[in-house]
Amino acid sequence: MTGKYDKVAYYPGCALEGTGHAYNRSTKALGDALGLQTVELENWNCCGAMEVKNVDPKIQTYLSARNLTIAEDMGFDTVMAPCNGCYHNLKKAEYDLAHDPESKSVNERLAGKAGHRAYEPGHVETIHALDWIKQGIGEEGLKAKVKNSLKGLKVANYYGCMYTRPRHIFPEKDRGPGSESTLKPHFMDDLLEAAGAENVEYPLKTSCCGGAHTLSDSDTSTRLVLNLLETAEACGADVIATECPTCHSGLEMHQMRAEKVFGKKTSVRILYFTQLLGLALGLSPRKVGVHENFSDAMPMLKQKGLAR
Amino acid sequence: MPIHEKSLIRPENLIEHKDLFIDGIDVSGHWSTFINSRALTDYDESMQEEIAALPGGENIHRCWQCGSCTNACTVNALNPDFNPRYWIYLIRNGMKQELLLDKDIVWQCVSCNKCTYACPRDVNPEGVMKATAHWLELKGHTEKKPSMIFDEGFSQQIIETGKIEDGLVIRQFFARTGQKLAQNWLVAMAIGLAKRLPVAMGIKMGFAAVFHPRTRGWSRARAAIKDYVHEREAANRKALGLPTGEDGR
C-alpha cells in the first residue's frame, strides 16, 4: 500500500522459538509471499514477558529497551513483533521511557553497566504483525494475491489482552477511521475478510485466556479458555484465529485440559492468522507450520478445501 | 480519628425488623440497607503507604471507589469474592483484618488489564493487585503463591541467560511446586504433536532442550540486573519496616 513496512526489523521473541514456532514459520512465509522483508534483531534478549514486571517493572523496561537499541543500531526505524507480549512490552517501554523519569534513569543506569547505549524514546516505532500486513499491504493488496480463497470458513477473531490494553501505551490506536480500536479491534477481521473468510460476530475478541497463570492457576485458565471456545462454537466458528503465541498455546493446552480434566470437549480449531492468510495465498499447510500446532487442524482444513 | 461507616453487607451485620411499616406498607425482614453503623479504631495507618511503596501500588491514593475495576474484572466473573474495588477500599482505610480474609485469592489476578483500561482515575488496579499480593507475602501473611514461584523462576532464567526456553520453564515450575510433569492432558498433547511432527523438527526441539538458547555477551547485563534486583528488594523491605540485612529474610 504505502511501502513503508517493506523492510522492517523482526523481533520474534522466545515463544516463537519454542511453543509458538508455527507462528514464526508462518509469519516469515507470509512476508516472503507478500514481498515484505524481515531482518531479525541481532542477539536479542527476552522482553520480560508477563513475569518480570511482577518482580520489578523497570527490569522489563530495560530488557525491552535493549532490543529497541539493537533495532536502532541496525539502522531500522521500525521493529515488528508478532507476539502480543513482546509487542506490548516494547510499547510499554517506549511509553514509560517517555513519561516516567525514573524508568528512564533506571534504564540508563542498567544500560551503562551492561555496556551499551541506552535507548531514547521516539527513535523506533514498534508495530505488530497485524499492522505490518494491514498497513504495509492493505486489504486490496492482499486480495490481489489470494489464490485459495478462505470462502466458507467461519472465523472467530481473537486478539487477547495485550494487543489493546492498557490503552495509554498505544497512542496510535482509537484515532478514528483507518486506525485500530482498543475496544473492538478489527485489523485481523479486515485481513481475513479480504482473504475470503466469513468472520462471525465474536463478543470475546479481547477477553482474557488466563495466559499469565496458564500453569500456576490452571483451573482458572481452563475455565477462561473453555468460555472462549464454547462461545466461538456458539457463534458458529470453525476456527479461532489468533495473533499471540501465549493465547494460541493457552487455547490449545486448555482445550485439551478441559477435555481430560473437566470432561468438556470442544471441536473448534485454533490457527494463527498468519497461517490462514498463508493458506489463502496458496502456501501449503506444511509451509505455514500447521503440523507444528498442538491441536490438529488438518481434517478441518481438508473438509474446507484448504488442504489436500 | 475513628472511621465511622456502615458495616459491611454480611449476614452477621444485617438487622432484622419484625414489624416495620413505611407508609402503611409492610417492609419487615432482612434488607441489605438494614445495617448497623460502626466506628473503627483498630485500623492500620501504614498499610496504604506500604502498598503504595511497592511496584504497581503507586497510584492507589487516586481511587474514588467507582467500582469500574471490579465491574470489568475477569477473575471477579469467576469468583465474586475477587473484588479489587473493595480491597482498595480496605487498604486505603487500613482495614487489615478484613483484607486478610481474602489473602489467599489476591494472587489470582490474571493481569488482563481490563481494570486499568476501565479506571477513570489511572489507579492502575492491576498493579495494585500485584503490590498487594507482594505485600501479603513480604509481611508473612501468605506463603509464596504459585504465580510468584512461576514469575521468579521465569525471571531468574531471563536474568541468567537473556532468554527463555519454554520447555525448561514448564519442567522447573512443576518441580518447584511438587507436581508431576506427566499430567494426563500434557501427555495427550505431546503424543498428538509427536504423531504429526516431522523427525527433523523433533530433533531440533531436543537440541533446544539440551543447548538452552541464550543472548551472547550477557554477563554485564546479568550483573547489572542482579544488582538492581538486590537494591529494590532491600528498598521494598525497608518501606515495609522489615529487616534488610543479608540474612534478614
What pLDDT does B244 receive? 80
Average predicted confidence (pLDDT) for chain B: 88
- From chain B, the residues in CB contact with A51 under 8 A are 150-151, 154-155
Q: Decide if B112 and A216 are in contact by the 8 Å CB cutoff.
A: no
What is d(CA A295, CA B196) in angstroms, rounded to the nearest whole number?
Answer: 10
- From chain A, the residues in CB contact with B221 under 8 A are 45, 66, 110, 113-114
pLDDT tens-digit series, residues B106-149:
999 999 999 999 999 999 999 999 999 999 999 999 999 999 99
**Hey, where are the domains in chain B?**
3-40, 47-138, 146-227
Residue A259: Cβ within 10 Å count: 16
Residue B215: Cβ within 10 Å count: 16
Chain A, 110 to 169: residues with Cβ < 8 Å from chain B are 110, 113-115, 161-162, 164-167
What is d(CA A157, CA A273) in angstroms, rounded to the nearest whole number?
Answer: 9
pLDDT tens-digit series, residues A146-175:
999 999 999 999 999 999 999 999 999 999
pLDDT tens-digit series, residues A33-47:
999 999 999 999 999
Nearest Cα neighbor of B114 from B67, B69, B60, B77 is B69
Q: Do residues A107 and A118 make contact, with C-beta atoms less than 8 angstroms apart?
A: yes
Contacts of A171 (CB under 8 A, 6+ apart): A95
What pLDDT does B60 receive? 98
What is d(CA B17, CA B13) in angstroms, rounded to the nearest whole number?
Answer: 13
What pLDDT does B39 receive? 86
Q: Who among A57, A211, A261 is closest to B56 (CB)?
A: A57
pLDDT tens-digit series, residues A31-87:
999 999 999 999 999 999 999 999 999 999 999 999 999 999 999 999 999 999 999
String of DSSP letters for A219-258: HHHHHHHHHHHHHHHHTT-SEEEE--HHHHHHHHHHHHHH
Q: Who among B146, B158, B223 is closest to A52 (CB)?
A: B158
Q: Which of A202-206, A251-255, B148-152 has the lowest mean pLDDT?
A: B148-152
Q: B59, B82, B106, B110: best mutation site toward chain A, by most A Cβ within 10 Å? A: B110
**Hey, where are the domains in chain A?**
7-128, 146-303
What is d(CA B92, CA B121) in angstroms, rounded to the nearest whole number?
Answer: 15
Can you tell me the mean pLDDT for A277-299?
A: 95
- From chain A, the residues in CB contact with B223 under 8 A are 113
Name which CATH class applies to A146-303.
Answer: alpha beta
Strand, helix or coil at A261? helix
String of DSSP letters for B151-215: HHHHHHHHHHHSS--HHHHHHHHHHHTT--S--HHHHHHHHHHHHHS-HHHHHHHHHHHHS----
Q: A7 pLDDT exceeds 90?
A: yes
- From chain B, the residues in CB contact with A215 under 8 A are 150, 170, 173-174
Options 3.20.20.150, 1.10.10.10, 1.10.1060.10, 3.40.190.10; CATH for B47-138 is 1.10.1060.10
Can you tell me the mean pLDDT for B43-72?
A: 96
What is d(CA A245, CA A272) in angstroms, rounded to the nearest whole number?
Answer: 8
What is d(CA B92, CA A7) in angstroms, rounded to the nearest whole number?
Answer: 51
Chain A, 235 to 294: residues with Cβ < 8 Å from chain B are 252-253, 256-257, 259-261, 291-292, 294
- End-to-end Cα, chain B, rounded Å: 34
How many inter-chain contacts (A to B, CB under 8 Å) are there? Answer: 177
Q: Decide if B215 and A45 are in contact by the 8 Å CB cutoff.
A: yes
Nearest Cα neighbor of A201 from A150, A235, A250 is A235
pLDDT tens-digit series, residues A253-272:
999 999 999 999 999 999 99
pLDDT tier, B2 (very low <50, low <70, confident <90, very high otherwise) = confident
What is d(CA A190, CA A139) in angstroms, rounded to the nearest whole number?
Answer: 7
Between the alpha carbon of residue B6 and those of residues A90, B18, B40, B152, B204, the distances in Å are: 46, 21, 10, 41, 64
String of DSSP letters for A58-127: HHHHHHHHHHHHHHHHTT-SEEEE-SHHHHHHHHHHHHHHHH-HHHHHHHHHHHHHHTSPPPPTTSSEEE
Q: Decide if A66 and B221 are in contact by the 8 Å CB cutoff.
A: yes
Please report, rounded to a whole number, the percentage of residues in chain A having pLDDT higher than 90: 95
Between the alpha carbon of residue A92 and those of residues A16, A121, A134, A168, the distances in Å are: 20, 11, 22, 9
Fold of A7-128: Glutathione S-transferase Yfyf (Class Pi); Chain A, domain 2 (1.20.1050)
What is d(CA B175, CA B165) in angstroms, rounded to the nearest whole number?
Answer: 16
* Omega before A166 within 30 of 0, i.e. cis: yes
What pLDDT does B248 receive? 46
pLDDT tier, B199 (very low <50, low <70, confident <90, very high otherwise) = low
Residue of chain A whose alpha carbon sits nearest to that of B74: A208
Q: Do residues A279 and A241 make contact, with C-beta atoms less than 8 angstroms apart?
A: no
Cα three-residue angle B111-B98-A215, rounded to 5 degrees: 30
Nearest Cα neighbor of A244 from A219, A278, A220, A210 is A210
Can you tell me the mean pLDDT for B191-200?
A: 71
- From chain A, the residues in CB contact with B232 under 8 A are 56
What pLDDT does B207 receive? 56
Residue A260: Cβ within 10 Å count: 18
Which residue carries 489473602 as its cell?
A: B103
Length of chain A measured in residues: 308
Q: Do residues A247 and A206 make contact, with C-beta atoms less than 8 angstroms apart?
A: no
